[in-house]
C-alpha cells in the first residue's frame, strides 16, 4: 500500500509546554488519610511532618497537557471529518491497524519545543477514539457491547479522542525523515504514514480490533480547508 500524506494546518504544539499539574486523591485515599491522622494524634505524633507524610502517601499528581496543546488538538479534531473524507477519496482505509512508520515535518511558528515533545503530541493526536467499559474497566475501539465482559453498550464511556488515522500509537515503529522546521507564515504539519513492512509486530501482545466505528460529529459550520 502506498503511503498517505496529509497536512494539518496551524502551528503544532507540544504537551509539555506549561503542563497543568494538580493533585488528586481517591475516596479510599481520603479514608486512609483520616485514619492515619487519627492514629498519629492518638500516638501524640500529630505534628506537621506526620501530617504531610500521610498526605503525600495518599495523593497522586495528574499531569494534564498544556493549554496550547489542547487548543491545537481541538482545532484539529474539528477537521476530522474532512480528513477522513480525504483519506477515503484517496482509497485509504483508516485507521491503519498495522505497524506504521511516520514521517512528520513540523513547520513551527517559532523555534520552541523539543523533538520528543512534538512527536509525542502528534502520535497522541492521530490515534483513534477509545471507550472504556464501566463494568470491567477495559478499553475498546468500537461502540458495541463490551468485547471483554459482554456488558451492554451503555456501559461504555468515551475516554480518548483522536483523529483516527492510526488505531494506537503503539503501532508506530519509526519516525524516519521527521524534522523540526519553521514557517512563521504558514505553520503546519505535513505527515506521511506508511506501512512498516518489516513484518514483525511493534509490541508484544498488541491486538487490534477491526476498524473503529466512526461517528461523525455535527459539522460546526462551513470551513474551507486544504489538506
Question: Given the complex with Zn ion, which of 4 and 133 has the nearer CB atom?
Answer: 133
**Which string of x and - marks every residue 127-146 that binds Zn ion (by CB under 5 A)?**
------x-xx---------x
Question: Given the complex with Zn ion, which of 104 and 146 has the nearer CB atom?
Answer: 146
Question: Given the complex with Zn ion, which of 135 and 195 has the nearer CB atom?
Answer: 135
**Which string of x and - marks every residue 174-203 that binds Zn ion (by CB under 5 A)?**
------------------------------
Binding to Zn ion (CB under 5 A) within 78-137 occurs at 133, 135-136
Rounded to a whole number of angstroms, the minimum distance from the CB of residue 205 to Zn ion is 19
Rounded to a whole number of angstroms, the minimum distance from the CB of residue 213 to Zn ion is 17
Rounded to a whole number of angstroms, the minimum distance from the CB of residue 133 to Zn ion is 3
Binding to Zn ion (CB under 5 A) within 144-163 occurs at 146, 148-149, 151
Rounded to a whole number of angstroms, the minimum distance from the CB of residue 134 to Zn ion is 8
Evaluate whether 14 touches 119 at the Cβ level (below 8 Å). no
Rounded to a whole number of angstroms, the minimum distance from the CB of residue 88 to Zn ion is 31
- In sequence order, the β-bridge partners of residue 9 are 188
The grid coordinates listed for 22 are: 494538580
Q: Give Cα 195 to chain centroid, integer Å.
A: 21
Question: Given the complex with Zn ion, which of 157 and 226 has the nearer CB atom?
Answer: 157
Rounded to a whole number of angstroms, the minimum distance from the CB of residue 141 to Zn ion is 13
Question: Given the complex with Zn ion, which of 154 and 185 has the nearer CB atom?
Answer: 154
Question: Given the complex with Zn ion, which of 25 and 136 has the nearer CB atom?
Answer: 136
Contacts of 155 (CB under 8 A, 6+ apart): 133, 134, 135, 146
Question: DSSP of 62-102, one letter per residue?
Answer: EEEPPHHHHHHHHHHHHTHHHHHHHHHHTT--SSB-S-EEE
The grid coordinates listed for 114 are: 523539543
Q: What is the total count of residues that contact Zn ion (CB under 5 A)?
A: 7
- Taking the C-alpha atoms of residue 139 and residue 158, their distance in angstroms, rounded to an integer, is 10
> Is residue 30 at the binding interface for Zn ion, with CB under 5 A as the rule?
no
Chain residues that interact with Zn ion, rule: CB under 5 A: 133, 135-136, 146, 148-149, 151
Amino acid at each position: 500500500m502506498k503511503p498517505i500524506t496529509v497536512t494539518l494546518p496551524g502551528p503544532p504544539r507540544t504537551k509539555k509546554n506549561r503542563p497543568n499539574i494538580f493533585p488528586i486523591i481517591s475516596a479510599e485515599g481520603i479514608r486512609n488519610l483520616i485514619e492515619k491522622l487519627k492514629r498519629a494524634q492518638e500516638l501524640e505524633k500529630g505534628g506537621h511532618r506526620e501530617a504531610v507524610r500521610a498526605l503525600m502517601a495518599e495523593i497522586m499528581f495528574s499531569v494534564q497537557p498544556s493549554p496550547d496543546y489542547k487548543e491545537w488538538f481541538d482545532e484539529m479534531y474539528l477537521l476530522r471529518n474532512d480528513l477522513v473524507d480525504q483519506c477515503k477519496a484517496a482509497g485509504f482505509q483508516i485507521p491503519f491497524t498495522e505497524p506504521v512508520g511516520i514521517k512528520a515535518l513540523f513547520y513551527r511558528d517559532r523555534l520552541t519545543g523539543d523533538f520528543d515533545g512534538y512527536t509525542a503530541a502528534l502520535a497522541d493526536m492521530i490515534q483513534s477514539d477509545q471507550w472504556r467499559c464501566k463494568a470491567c474497566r477495559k478499553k475498546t475501539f468500537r461502540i458495541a457491547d463490551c468485547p471483554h465482559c459482554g456488558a451492554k453498550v451503555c456501559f461504555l464511556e468515551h475516554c480518548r479522542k483522536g483523529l483516527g488515522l492510526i488505531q494506537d500509537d503503539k503501532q508506530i515503529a519509526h519516525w524516519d525523515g521527521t524534522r523540526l522546521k519553521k514557517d512563521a507564515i504558514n505553520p503546519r504539519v505535513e505527515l506521511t504514514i506508511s506501512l512498516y513492512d518489516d513484518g514483525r509486530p511493534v509490541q508484544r501482545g498488541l491486538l487490534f480490533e477491526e476498524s473503529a466505528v466512526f461517528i461523525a460529529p455535527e459539522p460546526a459550520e462551513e470551513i474551507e480547508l486544504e489538506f
